[in-house]
Amino acid sequence: MLDGILVINAGSSSIKFSLYASEPGAEPKVASKGQVEGIGTKPHFIAKSLDKKVLAEKYWDDPKTSHSALLGHLIDWVRSHHTDVALKAAGHRVVHGGTRFSAPTVIDEVVLEEIERLIPLAPLHNPHNLTPIRALRELFPTLPQVACFDTAFHRTMPRIAQMYAIPRKLTDEGVVRYGFHGSSFEYVAHALNRVAPDVAKGKVVVAHLGSGASMCGMVGGKSQITTMGLTPLDGLVMGTRPGRIDPGVLLHLMQQRGMSVTEVDTLLNKKSGILGVSEISNDFRDVEFSDDPRAKEAMDLVIYRIIQETGSIMAAIGGIDAMVYTAGVGEHSPHIRGLVSKALAWLGIELDEAANDKDALVITKPTSKVKVLVIPTDEELMIAMHTRKALNGAL
């Protein structure tokens, strides 16, 4: 019998899942994955094999179908389809862990209350992360659950890199730079030990580029600086978020334009980024090669900010040995990688055009002073590994 870990990544209208199975002590291997989408409208469950073959599918007509009912169906399917797997635990992606959670944590009522207390720091994420946790506790109270926090990987940043220049009282109360995409950055650090041990212990700049995007400067596989801050709004230009912005802009919008806090929140989280600049789409694929001059300007801004943040990170960690692209856009956009690499050619980056076009592991020439790699992220695997570790190897 194999030990099973169910990894759950919940959003506002979907619950993505991956089932990992392994012999005790072995690295978890994904057995199947899928999602429940359309929550709140027309729930739809779909499960797929590793070769993307549909294994099961179900629709619910009632838009008010509860998370408990949907998760109950998911668990029932896992147990009936994977008869050689004993479900031992569930691991959850939780976006914000505050200053308290610096490692994956077994969930109990105290932990649940603390995650709920952190909702104001991640109002678009933590509430949705909590919902399946509570539903599973109600359905299967004896099933161990582990919270894996996006912010935890960045707790190794020096205190000075976490601080804002605000009254110390606010800093002591937790108004600091946290950073996100921790599971993704940690997976890259994990993978580098295998695919590029020559740079794994060096100074590495990692670009997690997707609808949400951030960068991280690592030394010896540990986070030293990252572009996101107290919330996921800081740093790079994203699908609907502006990234770095003068706080005075927000004061101007409220004081001179009469915008409410709610309106500014909506502007920053849902109407800015490449959507706001291009006025076409929040999807990089729609904007990247558009002939519309607004789209070109949006992409120019995306590239400019990546270049700018790369320089800032390099200055903070004292140089660069390698650069890594990951996540949906980072893994599949030779155009963006090529433009950034050419702009950073002064570092000694020599792009291999053919390798870049193929999304190869290494996209620079052997003579390049800085190695540039493309590493597909696997946040779910990190969550599965952490879940097992958090339960003291009992699985």
Alpha carbons 24 and 4: distance in angstroms, whole number: 10
Residues 225 and 79 in one domain: no
Give Cα separations from 9 to 129, 139, 303, 371, 379 (angstroms): 7, 18, 29, 32, 10
63 in a structural domain: yes
347 in a structural domain: yes
Residues 88 and 235 in one domain: no
Residues 201 and 303 in one domain: yes
pLDDT of the residue at 108: 95
Residues 144 and 211 in one domain: no
Concatenated DSSP letters of 64-97: T--HHHHHHHHHHHHHHH-TTEEEEEEEEEES--
Alpha carbons 165 and 229: distance in angstroms, whole number: 13
Sort 375 into a burial class: Cβ within 10 Å, 0-12 / 13-18 / 19+. Answer: buried
Tokens linked to 194: 């295998």
Residues 145 and 203 in one domain: no
Asked if 93 and 129 touch (Cβ cutoff 8 Å), the reply is: yes
393 in a structural domain: no
Domain closes at, from 149, 179, 212: 149
Residues 134 and 37 in one domain: yes
111 in a structural domain: yes
341 in a structural domain: yes
Nearest to 38 by CA among 6, 61, 54: 61
Asked if 83 and 27 touch (Cβ cutoff 8 Å), the reply is: no
Tokens linked to 285: 């694929």
pLDDT of the residue at 394: 52
Residues 28 and 135 in one domain: yes
Instruction: Say which CATH number the domain at 298 has.
Output: 3.30.420.40
Q: Which domain holds residue 103?
A: 2-149
Q: What is the pLDDT along the chain (395 residues), one digit of tens a residue?
A: 899 999 999 887 889 999 999 888 788 899 999 999 999 899 999 999 989 999 999 999 999 998 889 999 999 999 999 999 999 999 999 999 988 898 999 999 999 999 999 888 888 788 989 999 999 999 999 999 999 999 999 999 999 999 999 999 999 999 999 999 999 999 999 999 999 999 999 999 999 999 999 999 999 999 999 999 999 999 999 999 999 999 999 999 999 999 999 999 999 999 999 999 999 999 999 999 999 999 999 999 999 999 999 999 999 999 999 999 999 999 999 999 999 999 999 999 999 999 999 999 999 999 999 999 999 999 999 999 999 988 875 55
pLDDT of the residue at 395: 53
Residues 214 and 79 in one domain: no
71 in a structural domain: yes
**How many structural domains compose the chain?**
2
Residues 221 and 117 in one domain: no
Domain closes at, from 118, 149, 180: 149
385 in a structural domain: no
Residue numbers annotated as active site: 150
Residues 94 and 230 in one domain: no
Residues 202 and 262 in one domain: yes
Half-sphere exposure of 345 (CA within 13 A, CB side): 8
Residues 142 and 217 in one domain: no
85: phi then psi, degrees, rounded to nearest 5: -120, 130
pLDDT of the residue at 392: 74
Sort 41 into a burial class: Cβ within 10 Å, 0-12 / 13-18 / 19+. Answer: exposed
388 in a structural domain: no
